[in-house]
Structure 1
């Protein structure tokens, strides 16, 4: 299963996937390309470290969504990589029907809450401010409605009485780094 990772930030979840691949824990999946919509994104530096091509794709003309010429450039790049699975790992753009249609049922996202609770931006902060006793992370299929696609798997994280927001974020990120590679491995076995 050929995997493409899309990210906008430092790439800690992408790094967890690549480490799992290096350790032989990614099943029949292989990351073949990393793409970012930010030329300075840390995720791009992972490519040379792990021997995976990592490329900036110009998302213009929009700042928060992927539509128009930018959307076409991403579709073309992902098709050229012959991706079987597109993994959103901190990709901070709203996807539109054309992109979703090009890779129907092949796009997954990692969200830092137990969906459907605390969808949207800052899932960890939302859970913390709401006083949740349990939060976690969710891997789900991507649909037009943000964070509303079919849930593939979740990992729970207990919120301890003395947890700060930073401590909770650390625990949720650790759960993400275990969950996302495990889901990719499981999906790769299901497609064999």
Structure 2
């Protein structure tokens, strides 16, 4: 069983889905030990409370450098015996400090079919570009922005009648289905 920490900055929908899959037995081989957020008003905190998952708000503004900020996070992860990190809407670039502490053990879900539409607004960028298809990518995190080794991708066709909210809904449905599935495939062998 692999202990994972989920990092989020906002809503926490993927975080909740990962925990619910774990609790139902659909998600296997991993256990969500904690949630880390970088925004005190992240709704993910409310989800963590409702799910009984410990959460930590680590405020980047309380640290002089990104290195100090990530060293504090590493301290928490080590104390909680976390083996892997799952990013789920965490809107910060991971620095070498955390990357080196968790080499090939940080996984991200990105709301686009990489290498198309990397960056912080994959859904909006695809919509603005008038793309007819986009997707969701799960990948390992490296020192680039959404450039790490791809673990799994799934396409989403954009219907001509859709507005941006329709596209967001379709992307989130795929994310919520595939993130627990891929975590299970990665970690099930460790059960």
Q: TM-score range by the shorter chain?
A: over 0.9
Distance 2:87 2:162 in 1: 28
Q: Which runs of 5+ in 1 are unaligned?
A: none
* 2:54 aligned with 1:73: no
Q: By how many angstroms is 1:134 displaced?
A: 1.4
Match of 1:15 in 2: 16
What SS does the corresponding residue of 1:60 show, helix, strand or coil? Answer: helix
Match of 2:95 in 1: 96
CA contact (8 A) 2:16 2:48 kept: no
Distance 1:74 1:59 in 2: 10
When the two structures are superposed, what TM-score results if normalisation uses the length of structure 2?
0.94
How many residues align? The count is: 190
* 2:110 aligned with 1:123: no
Distance 1:87 1:62 in 2: 23
Alpha carbon RMSD of aligned pairs, Å? 1.6
What SS does the corresponding residue of 2:82 show, helix, strand or coil? Answer: coil
Match of 1:137 in 2: 136
When the two structures are superposed, what TM-score results if normalisation uses the length of structure 1?
0.94
Q: Which runs of 5+ in 2 are unaligned?
A: none
Q: How does 1:150-169 map to 2 (within 5 A)?
A: 150-169=149-168
Q: By how many angstroms is 1:129 displaced?
A: 1.7
| 1:77-118 per-position Cα deviation (integer Å, ceiling 9, x unaligned) | 111111111001111111111110001110001100000000
Match of 1:6 in 2: 7
| 1:103-151 per-position Cα deviation (integer Å, ceiling 9, x unaligned) | 1110001100000000012111111122222111101000000100000
Distance 1:115 1:125 in 2: 14
